[in-house]
Structure 1
Amino acid sequence: MTTVTRPPGPVTLPPGPTAPRAVQGAYALTSPLRGLHRLRAKYGDAFTVNVPIFGRAVVISGAAEIKQLFMSGPDLVDNQEVNLGRVLGPRSLFALSGEDHRRQRKLLVPPFHGRRLAAYEKIVEEETVRELATWPEDRAFATLPSMMRITLNAILRAVFGAEGAEFAELRALLPPFVTLGSRLAVLPISKKGRLNPWRRFERLRREYDAIVDRLIAKARADDRLDDRDDVLALMLQSRYDDGSELSREEIADQLLTLLTAGHETTATTLAWAVERLRRHPGVLRELTGSGDSKLLNATILEVQRTRPVIDLTARQVKQDGFRLGRWTLPKGYVVLVSIALIHDDDALFPHAATFDPHRFAGARPDLYQWIPFGGGTRRCIGAAFATMEMTVVLRTLLREFTLVPTDEAGERWHSRGVAYAPAKGGRAIVRRREGTA
């Protein structure tokens, strides 16, 4: 991370549309991805927009400016004031800035590496096998609901440490809770007034908090807490540098944050993986014929490049005169990084429109150019967990079933609020492999 102090200069912003904020906002909601591509074609790889929630903001997709943004310290750019804390809670990593963010992140990194991450693989495979047993043969069906169930159940076990009544209650509560929250996160709806969707969201949040309180109480009474691998157990044992422990509110918000990082977005990427593989039979044959783990990893990277489920990651300027490449931005401006636009850049990814996992074979992606998890100090903390989930689910799916190719046109992008999913849910036709029943 670098922090560079420069004297403020005159504000210089990239060009952009001049339509009123409401008009630009409607365009962003009704044609988000197509709209970004049109704006890049007209204005170049940086342009200024004026949209609800963010206000006047600069959208960037050039590699050099994105790298500079991600490497800039929190005294220059940090979390935007309007963020996912609206739905995940004020103590969520998505809501915190500066030192508070650093302290929380430091406590939450250990569960997603080494021995603990390896322990979670077994849970993901168990949930995958259980769900695959329900799949019909020789009949088209949407895979996204299955992927949602797999990732939700895995998160509840590996992160929440839930079982029994709490597992069943959370499995029923969280899907509508997450769906509603995902939509509210991108809509400029005030929390004021009695008859609006925030009232239902707040009721669901109270139910969620009550269940988490019970999970915390049970964990604290567990005399084998030290032997548990779930993230809740680790949170209860973790301490800040001053010896203090996480509050109940911090635990509840961070559990919800980790659910968001490893559930809907991961499931949606898995549905896209099915959609892409069925339309690229050569890659599918190579994967199923060789069982090459490196090719499987490369395929997941390419799915995330060509079908990123989150399009934008953001920072807010904290000092006047912040120089970002060619531009000088005023304090308070939001900088939006377009993940889809940089992933579509032929200069970085030759023949970018082509689905080709071999571009990543034997090579690690540049994390300032391949950015489905965002970047810098605010890169998604669940990236390693999500990658593990996708690897285990796809490996198990291809081991258990033959995925029938198709010559149908690719599925359209469909906005679920925060995430973009295949419009038909990643439809598949499968046949169980001999000896796997």
Structure 2
Amino acid sequence: MRTTLFWFRNDLRLHDQRALVQAINYAQAHGQALLLVFVHEPVQDTPTAWGFRRMGAHRRRFLADTLQDLQNGLKALGQRLVLLHGPVAEVLPACARTVQADTVFCENIAAPEEEAQVQALINVGLTVKTLWQSSLIEPDALPFAAEDMPQVFTEFRQRIESARLQPLAPLPAPAQLPAPPSDNMTALPGWTDNPFTLLQADNEGDAHPRSNFPYTQAVCRGGEASALAHLQSYLTPPWPDRYKQTRNALQGQHTSSHWSPWLATGAVSARRIWAELHAYEKQHGSNDGTYWLWFELLWRDNFRMLHLQHGRLLYAARGLSKLPQPSHFPKDFARWCNGQTGEPIVDAGMRELEATGFTSNRMRQIVASFLVHDLSCDWRAGAAWFESQLVDFDVCSNQGNWLYVSGRGTDPRVGRRFNPAKQTQDHDAQGRYRQVWL
């Protein structure tokens, strides 16, 4: 019996899974089994050019919990998740040969490495059907072509709002799935049935007691179940109504939505969040807080569309700018990573990041600005450190935000320097945040 292969990427959920629905329909139409696969690439385990592992311990644990939750959801539907370790270009074709599959379905991710993975599968003769499903607004629904997208976010947002664009309604999770193939997967290179083994992740211990996002506790654990539970919990008065006023706070579990870790792994879809937020507004009324949540989700869309427009240029040393090549000072960069710069607010933020895998959006801006504008280090090194440390690392948002702060993106201003003294006075005048982390 032939098989349809579905490759989970940054969409580790069952609800609003249009790519998975496409694979289900194809398997049913052709009388095929359905094999569900996740691949962990060795490049995540090796040191980067900057001297540290690409995926740090915090993100490994959060992703392992996410995969375990997905395994549980699939098991309830009579399916299984095949976990493989190895280069995508090698392990997926080997998997396809084992189960007699020639067609792979997956989500479309418009970032260079992710596009190269898909091309590698095509190069060995597999048919790959990708589907865009990570944004609120579909690219082909925008009131402009991707190549003509406004370069400033304000115009991007205004044109979407003027056109009264609305996200697609999220799909429910499938009630049933085609059966998996009967082939023995254990013979495949890199096979395991344990997400913690796959990711070399520690499944013991607990979150840091002062963490803003205690990801080893049930309320913040990786996976669709926790994501949807948190969504309902947050969308309860007064939290959404206060969002605009509290979003720049440096600590506090209800000062921000904290949706980003689950969005990053795809355990919840942006469209599901919008649908629930819209329902909240219908019941409780809209206000600045609920609008600003929409506003932030559109920022996330903007960074995704920039990848469709500019592609690999977003990863060049100069970015989209005509600025000179960035300088770099490894010793200063190491002091920044370790929270030993001598600037208290920056050091507090960097120590929180390393200890917990999370820090507020405002603190990310402060520490990124300090690395680029005060220490004159390479913005790409900072982006790589965030990739390693953050439980909510998202390739499009991370790249977009670092380009924005460094002045190498689409923003008309040449850089966004955040004055540490002013930021300290505005956001930690009483010193409570610094007292916790210093």
- Fold agreement, TM-score > 0.5: no
TM-score normalised to structure 1 length: 0.29
TM-score normalised to structure 2 length: 0.29
